[in-house]
Amino acid sequence: MLFNYRFAGNSTVTSTLRKTGLSFAPDTLRESAWFVGKLHKKLAFREAISALHDVVISDLRFKPKDKTAYKEWVAQNEALFLAEYMAGYDANAANNRIEQIWKELNEVRTQKEKVMAPFYTARSKYFNYLYEKDRDAWIVFDPVITIHPDELFFECFSQDESTYGKLGCNYNVFREIDDYKCGTTNVDYSSALYEEFQKIRDYKETELKVDPTGFTVQTTHEDLYKEKKIDLPDSWVRGFLQVSSAMTLPTIEFDLHPMDIYNICLLLRRFKEKRGPRSLRYVLEPGQPVKIILEPWGKEIICARSIYPGPTRQEVRTWGRRRLLILERLIPVARKFTVHLLGTGLPSFYIADLGDMNFTLGLSGWTTNDWSHAGNFDLLAPRLHVDDAIKTKVFTAIQKELFGTSQQFAQQLNLDTAQVSGALSAYTQAGRVIYDLNRNVYRLRELSREPLPFDKLRFDNPREEMAAALLKSQEITFNAQPQADGSLQLSGTVKASRKTYKAQLLIDADEKIRSASCDCSYYIENKLYKGPCEHMLAIRQLYNKTRITEGFR
């Protein structure tokens, strides 16, 4: 998916003995948005924006070691090693034959090395150069910055697409605000700029600027612009859409003291696992300190200052725990960390309370299970069909207010809360709205200046496309039983490929799947860790259509 950016120059930092100026170059092709203010919480901002940079460059995918030099050394000495091993034998004929064979093999290897050596050398030098001299080439995605009346926030994704970061700053972070205009834009954020962030000091006045002058330069001076054309993978775009849907799901919530996060990071730094399981296990007892167990070592951390407030006992295991090291820089400036767990093997969110700032770290179920390919959290989000006229009303309201809860918009527009939630969910999945887990509100945030290509993004995975096909061509029946707590027990059968599948879903009052089961092979193998199967989706979609056409429920 090709995105065009045009920046009015580069983001820059000007530093003197008494003043530091941070100027972000925005995307001039988007609707104008700017911000100019002087920092008040300088050191906390420095640590938070540095942690955001750690998210951008994070890539924990497996990288095999380069054994080229070792293999060359072995090839050069292999004949000598074999000769030393065979030195005790007197079979001269055999030794002569072996020597002849090795001579022939060495000639073949020598020819291969001559052909491939320049390639291996050039490849090694190239990647070493990029890492040491031009790390911008390793970071291809510029952060998204949104300016709202109550806060300014940055968003970004990691290189391996498994980690999401959001830094929100309310206006108490700034001692003086000269000017701002609400909106969303991409900003040019280089590694050189990160190095300059480290020079922020408390005794220096620091000015943060999303440069408004970038929007007033005449088009005849296009040579002043820095243009970027970035071919973003569909997975990156879907990832941004998925993460906000995951935030809307029911979570297990509790607080951790900063020293608890420090203890986790300390153990991860001290020990290196050589076998599985490599999980972080939370044992949550009502009214008791949170207990964290690091496997496979079985090391326990008793969080004496962090009491679990939930009503029932919970035990949740999460993977990809080394991504938590991103939070290290926030420990000295954080008041607490609020943890949101979706369940075993499902995503988790850590929100650092930095006073007038907040930092949200979103982790997929495990490092190789990125937000787009295996999460499918938009499939568990509200799927209620909403009329286009209602969607337009809701979007007009959020454009005016910029942020709010579904209940607030429902009351304002005199609409049903479920319909408003469905409309907001649809705009969330379209990249036009984000769910702010820190304040539990929906916020207007246009991910791109042009509508996203739904032909490419409509079906995030084959199961949703298969469910749509089942609705058109197969036999589906369902039975809906409302529950006393407002939830709905939905069961049904789907006839497909000469076989009938039985599925059950428990849908809460917010139109979200609480639990589900099916007798198909996909559910038996994956449960809900990779999202619902096509039979669950087909039954739910048919129920939604029936509810609308016949006034069901």
- The pLDDT tens digits for 381-430 are 655 678 889 989 999 999 999 999 999 999 999 998 888 988 888 888 77
pLDDT number for residue 369 = 55
pLDDT band with cut points at 50, 70 and 90 for residue 380: low
Answer whether CATH 3.40.50.970 is correct for domain 382-456. no
SS3 258: helix
Topology of the domain comprising 462-550: Nuclear Transport Factor 2; Chain: A, (3.10.450)
DSSP 231: E
Domain residue ranges in the chain = 68-136, 233-375, 382-456, 462-550
Place 114 in a pLDDT band, splitting at 50, 70 and 90.
Answer: confident
Q: Phi then psi for 51, rounded to 5 degrees?
A: -65, -35
> What are the residues whose beta carbons fall under 8 Å from the beta carbon of 57, sequence distance 6 or more?
135, 138, 139, 158, 159, 191
CA-CA distance, 194 to 369, in Å (whole number)?
A: 28
**Which tokens in the block code for residue 492?**
């049904």
Helices and strands: H and E segment counts in the chain: 13, 26
Dihedral Cα 147, 45, 367, 133, nearest 10 deg: 100
Binning pLDDT at 50, 70 and 90, where does residue 108 land?
Answer: confident
pLDDT at 281: 93
In 415-502, which residue ranges form alpha helices assigned H by DSSP?
417-429, 454-457, 462-473
**Which secondary-structure segment (H or E) carries 102?**
helix 92-133
pLDDT grade for 25, boundaries at 50, 70 and 90 = low
Q: From the CB of residue 268, how many other CB atoms can be counted at a distance below 10 Å?
A: 18
Rounded-to-integer distance, Cα 25 and Cα 186, Å: 9
pLDDT at 232 over 70: no
Q: What is the dihedral of CA 423, 427, 432, 437, to 10 degrees?
A: 80
Cα 499–Cα 500–Cα 504 angle in degrees, nearest 5: 145
So what CATH class is 233-375? alpha beta
pLDDT band at 84 (very low <50, low <70, confident <90, very high): low
**Model pLDDT, residue 553:** 40
